[in-house]
């Protein structure tokens, strides 16, 4: 059963939420999904239904400036006109949504699964609120934005905000997305996401996907990356919080797995005791929408079975 609802954020924003529950019986755990940049939570319906068929509950939400939540924040890629840090707000939003599940289903463990930008949010969440979680799964993960000098990017975006305002459309995210497709035949411009042409076409046709970020949201993202990669913040993650990382070997975001290896080294140095990872040969960025998605789904379910 799937339910669409809302959760009220700390500042009153209405967050669109989606819940999938087994038809009968108590769920073994909740998997909370944090989606990626310029997409939305309903794209994870197939994976959520797979998890439900294995006895798990699933909850997901549309980030600020994304999906159905965007109607209350100024549209796609916009997170409001104020000076509030939208990255920190999105981390808090995840806690609000997860807290709703914990309140309605006390005693049921929660595993946070983040994809891409959502994997960065999940890493930040694990630094701030690790006691909320029974585990963390990071899909399509990379330590930092590939090919990006964060200091130069921050300076550029700060200028854009100063000159045009936080809600002005920035070319920062479209430029990143375009560069990710350089290694692939250009049919829609989104071939870097998956080898499955039907999935690529569905993404390209979805008006809720592939949009630009406002200068304010892009700046907050860059600042958020600097925060979550600070060794002092990484050290705040408890050693006994299990982590699993899953990526495609042909995902341009991890630069030939380099940015995956760097993140693994960060987590090992922080003392994470239960740290596993898998790279799927030939797969691109969206491993849950890849041609081998059944293998990915089964692997992630097996990891959940072992840890909850």
Could you tell me the residue ranges of all domains in the chain?
2-146+221-307
Query: Can you tell me the distance from the alpha carbon of 121 to that of 149, in angstroms, rounded to the nearest whole number?
Result: 20
pTM over 0.95: yes
- In a structure prediction context, what are the per-residue pLDDT tens digits for the chain, which is 308 residues long? 689 999 999 999 999 999 999 987 789 999 999 999 999 999 999 999 999 999 999 999 999 999 999 999 999 999 988 888 999 999 999 999 999 999 999 999 999 999 999 999 999 999 999 999 999 999 999 999 999 999 999 999 999 999 999 999 999 999 999 999 999 999 999 999 999 999 999 999 999 999 999 999 999 999 999 999 999 999 999 999 999 999 999 999 999 999 999 999 999 999 999 999 999 999 999 999 999 999 999 999 999 999 99
Whether the Cβ atoms of residue 159 and residue 172 lie closer than 8 Å to each other: no
pLDDT value, residue 82 = 81
Side-chain-side CA neighbours of residue 19 (13 Å): 20
Which conformational region is residue 189 in: left (phi greater than 0), alpha (psi within -120 to 50 degrees), or beta? left
What is each CA distance from 8 to 5, 15, 69, 71, 103, in whole angstroms?
Answer: 10, 6, 11, 14, 14
Query: Can you tell me the distance from the alpha carbon of 299 to that of 34, in angstroms, rounded to the nearest whole number?
Result: 19
Residues 6+ away with beta carbon under 8 Å from 198? none
Side-chain-side CA neighbours of residue 200 (13 Å): 19
pLDDT value, residue 246 = 98
**The domain at 2-146+221-307 falls in which architecture?**
3-Layer(aba) Sandwich (3.40)
In 3D, which of 41, 38, 91, 42 has the Cα closest to residue 65?
38
């Amino acid at each position: 059963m799937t339910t669409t609802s809302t959760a009220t954020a700390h500042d009153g924003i209405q967050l669109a939420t989606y819940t999938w529950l087994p038809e009968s019986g108590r769920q073994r755990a909740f998997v909370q999904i944090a989606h990626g940049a310029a997409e939305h939570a309903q794209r994870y319906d197939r994976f959520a239904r797979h998890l439900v068929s294995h006895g798990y509950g699933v909850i997901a939400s549309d980030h600020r400036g994304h999906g159905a939540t965007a109607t209350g924040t100024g549209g796609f890629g916009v997170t409001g006109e104020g000076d509030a840090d939208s990255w920190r707000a999105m981390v808090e939003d995840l806690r609000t949504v997860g807290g709703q599940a914990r309140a309605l289903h006390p005693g049921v463990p929660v595993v946070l699964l983040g994809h891409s930008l959502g994997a960065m949010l999940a890493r930040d969440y694990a630094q701030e609120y690790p006691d909320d979680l029974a585990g963390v799964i990071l899909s399509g993960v990379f330590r930092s934005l590939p090919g990006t000098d964060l200091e130069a990017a921050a300076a550029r975006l700060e200028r854009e905000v100063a000159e045009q305002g936080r809600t002005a459309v920035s070319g920062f995210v479209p430029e990143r997305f375009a560069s990710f497709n350089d290694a692939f035949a250009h049919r829609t411009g989104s071939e870097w996401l998956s080898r499955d042409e039907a999935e690529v076409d569905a993404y390209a046709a979805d008006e809720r996907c592939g949009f630009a970020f406002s200068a304010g949201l892009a700046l907050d993202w860059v600042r958020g990356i600097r925060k979550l990669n600070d060794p002092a913040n990484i050290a705040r993650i408890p050693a006994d919080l299990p982590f699993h990382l899953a990526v495609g070997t042909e995902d341009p975001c991890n630069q030939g797995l380099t940015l995956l290896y760097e993140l693994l080294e960060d987590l090992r140095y922080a003392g994470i005791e239960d740290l596993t990872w898998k790279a799927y040969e030939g797969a691109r960025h969206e491993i849950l929408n890849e041609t081998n998605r059944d293998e990915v789904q089964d692997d992630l379910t097996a990891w959940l079975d072992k840890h909850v």
